[in-house]
A and B are shown apart, each in its own frame.
Chain A
Amino acid sequence: MINRKIRSRSGLFGILIITFLLSVFPLVSYAYAAGGDGTGGANGVMKPLGLVSVTLDDGTNVNKAQNIPLKPKFTLHFDKNVVYLIYWEQNTRCFHLYDNNGQELAINLTKIDDTVDFSKRQYIWVEPVEALSPGANYKLYVAPNLLAKNGGSTLGMTTNNQGVTINFKTTGMETVAPSVAASAQVAAPDTVAATLAPAPAATPQTVTPSTPSTQVVASDPATTPAAAVAASAAVVTAAQNATSTAAPASDNNSTSVDVNTTNNDVTKKDSVSSDSPVTPKSNAESDLNQNNSGAQTGLTDQKKADAAQFAANEQARRVQNYVAVIAVIILLVWIGVEIMRRRRKRG
């Protein structure tokens, strides 16, 4: 009699727990989808898109590297799906490779579609069409309007709407004519935040002092795939890029992202550098500040609103996760009690 009562009670408890879990699970899966994959809806939780790491095929960190091969293949790892077919055409216009003189070079962009291999959805491979010059400095720029699959997360959300600049130097000795060498000042390796695209060859490269870096994202080097052999190649010519430069007006400042080799942490520096292909950085910066002061105010308000929205969403996500964890704990406790009860009954 007592056993039957206990059994019916535990059964009821079990049904309650399962009902609770079923009601909680959609919330948790929704939060996971928004955070992990970039598939979160426009009305729900939306995490910003960020660059995790930039490496070569062998896993070498690219940023500030001094011995990059002349025909490198860069693996850009983002934290969201950036290869979605619908946005790929738009995303291909966000990648630019500049040489030391600010001239844009043709690049091959490669992806593996997420409908074919879901595990490669966060990777884009960038390869210069022609071999780079030895001993020269280059900049790989990713514009802030790189869009994730969810259609709302952009790279600008993690880079203060400035995009990402990756600086590197190729291996070998520079072979430059004496006249050019005299006029063009090569940036020191540790001065990362240089002008992205200074137009005149004779203009010295503007270098800003590095600011204290803040850690943004941690990455796991093991997750970087060795190669994307089966990838489809999307050739993006310099001409195409030039006609459709994706950087908006506020992109004249670019954020430099340093990927630390030792701990693979991506650090963000709020260095100021220009993306304008025709204007030296200092002039461009002052002009921008003067001309766009009204627009900047609006942009700041927008950013504040976005930040508040993002914070609220994060809070909601945390609560959902807590509820899910508590539900799982209750379920485990119930299973434990049930096992104990049955053992006691047997004994």
Chain B
Amino acid sequence: MSLNKRIGIGILIIALSIGGAFFVERMAIVQGQQAGKMIPVVQNNKTIAYLDAGVIKQLGEQERGQTQGKSNPNGDNEVSLSYVLGSAGINKFQYVDVNGVGDDEDYKLGPKEIADLALSANDNNTVAMVKKVNGNHVMIAVVGKLSIN
């Protein structure tokens, strides 16, 4: 094989690798969304952030650190929904649509209604929405999407 052919093949492999990396990333996002492992936060039909179970755990730690000395009903892997929205850059909204994956219910929540709601990281890297009043009532077992309006 001539040197030129080898160089050509090398360049082709590099181009395919780069293209493949983007493709794999896109696929991972789509599959993650379908499985509830990647939660898009959508505002005005544009995705403004992605959340996953790891982020929820880290945000929970942050929130506990900031509310030291104050009452915080959230557990180790939990963070309040309002804190999550604030971290995503949202402080003013009319309501939030929380969609579940599969047969899970969808909820339309106003700013007052989200006060006692928390997101909880599940063991399978998905996230559940939990109502903290009167015990941990799971509202959505696997959260799929947060839409802000």
Task: State whether A235 touches B59 (Cβ < 8 A).
Answer: no
Cβ proximity bits A221-260 to B, threshold 8 Å, 1 near / 0 not: 0000000001111111000000000000000000000000
Q: How far is the CA of A306 from the CA of B90 in the complex (A)?
A: 35
Task: State whether A88 touches B90 (Cβ < 8 A).
Answer: no
Q: Is B58 an interface residue (CB 8 A)?
A: yes
* Residues from 84 to 100 in B contacting A, C-beta threshold 8 Å: 86-92
Q: How far is the CA of A235 from the CA of B91 in the complex (A)?
A: 6
Cβ proximity bits A117-132 to B, threshold 8 Å, 1 near / 0 not: 0000000000000000
B43: chain A residues within 8 A (beta carbon): 232
Interface of A is mostly: mixed
Task: State whether A234 touches B86 (Cβ < 8 A).
Answer: yes
A232: chain B residues within 8 A (beta carbon): 43, 48-49, 88-90
Task: State whether B91 touches A88 (Cβ < 8 A).
Answer: no
Q: Is A173 an interface residue (CB 8 A)?
A: no
Query: Smallest distance from the beta carbon of B39 to chain A beta carbons, Å?
Result: 11
Query: Smallest distance from the beta carbon of B140 to chain A beta carbons, Å?
Result: 21
* Residues from 46 to 73 in B contacting A, C-beta threshold 8 Å: 46-51, 55, 58-59, 62, 66
Q: Give the interface of B toward A (CB within 8 A).
A: 3, 43, 46-51, 55, 58-59, 62, 66, 83, 86-92
A-B contacts, 16 listed (Cβ < 8 Å): A85-B49, A85-B59, A88-B86, A88-B87, A88-B88, A89-B86, A90-B66, A115-B49, A115-B50, A116-B48, A116-B50, A230-B48, A232-B49, A232-B88, A232-B89, A233-B92
Q: Give the interface of A toward B (CB within 8 A).
A: 83, 85-90, 92, 109-113, 115-116, 230-236, 339, 342
Sorted nearest first, the 5 A-B pairs with minimum C-beta distance are A232-B89, A113-B49, A232-B48, A115-B50, A234-B89
